[in-house]
């Protein structure tokens, strides 16, 4: 069907069959990503709350299981992991109260507010830390772009068309969670099969 738009599902293939025997299968290509550990998540929360970083890592150093070096240290960034209930915030509390001069509970309340709705960004940054062990602002920007694309329904998609016994496969990107299939047949050839 020329110009047909197909809505995609993230967890299963979508198929269409036509009366002329043509079939189309489309599936979102989801890359295999590391499952971030607690240290990567802790550091990712610092990163997202900080906004801009020099680096972040889940490589242990001294007593720290990981570190984040923000461009500008704030009480919100320092207290952010504790604000979301993550452990290992002793040094974060010390910095917040003794270097930045802010009450830790007050900083945590501000951090919770600043991080509201940023769960996907935190997860994407944590995955970057888990996979690369040490990240910079470039990696954070990449994670943010990935989240923005997902929110706009932009995903890589593999499309397989079988027409007259010939198999055509190609990859494309979805737009708003859909792809457009062109030049498969006419509109009355469509038989709905999902």
Question: What DSSP string runs through the chain?
Answer: -TTEEEE--SSS-EEEEETTS-EEEEEE-PPP-----HHHHHHHHHHHHHSSEEEEE-S-BTTBS-EEEESS--HHHHHHHHHTT-S--HHHHHIIIIIS---HHHHHHHHHHHHTT-HHHHHHHHHHHHHHSEE-HHHHHHHHHHHHHHHTT--EEEEEEEETTEEEEEEEE-BTTEEEE-SS--GGGEE---
Q: What is the pLDDT of residue 181?
A: 76
Per-residue pLDDT of the chain (194 residues; tens, 9 = 90+): 456 788 888 788 889 888 888 899 999 998 888 899 999 999 999 999 999 999 999 999 998 999 999 999 999 999 999 999 998 899 999 999 999 999 999 999 999 999 999 999 999 999 999 999 999 999 999 999 999 998 998 989 999 999 988 998 999 998 888 888 764 433 333 333 33
Q: What is the pLDDT of residue 31?
A: 83
Q: What is the pLDDT of residue 188?
A: 39
Domain residue spans in the chain?
Answer: 4-30+155-191, 38-151
Q: What is the pLDDT of residue 192?
A: 36
């Amino acid at each position: 069907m020329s110009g047909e738009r197909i809505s995609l599902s993230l967890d299963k293939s979508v198929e269409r069959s036509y009366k002329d025997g043509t079939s189309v299968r489309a599936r979102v290509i989801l890359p295999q990503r590391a499952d971030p550990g607690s240290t990567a998540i802790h550091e990712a929360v610092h990163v997202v709350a900080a906004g801009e970083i020099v680096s972040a890592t889940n490589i242990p150093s001294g007593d720290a299981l990981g570190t984040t070096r923000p461009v500008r240290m704030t009480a919100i960034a320092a207290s952010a992991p504790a604000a979301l209930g993550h452990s290992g915030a002793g040094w974060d509390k010390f910095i917040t109260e003794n270097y930045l001069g802010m009450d830790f509970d007050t900083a945590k309340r501000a951090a919770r507010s600043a991080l509201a709705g940023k769960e996907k960004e935190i997860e994407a940054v944590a995955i970057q830390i888990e996979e690369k062990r040490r990240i910079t602002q470039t990696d954070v920007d990449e994670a943010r772009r990935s989240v923005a694309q997902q929110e706009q329904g932009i995903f890589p998609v593999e499309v397989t068309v079988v027409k007259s016994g010939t198999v055509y496969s190609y990859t494309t990107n979805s737009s708003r969670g859909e792809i457009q299939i062109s030049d498969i047949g006419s509109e009355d050839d469509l038989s709905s099969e999902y």
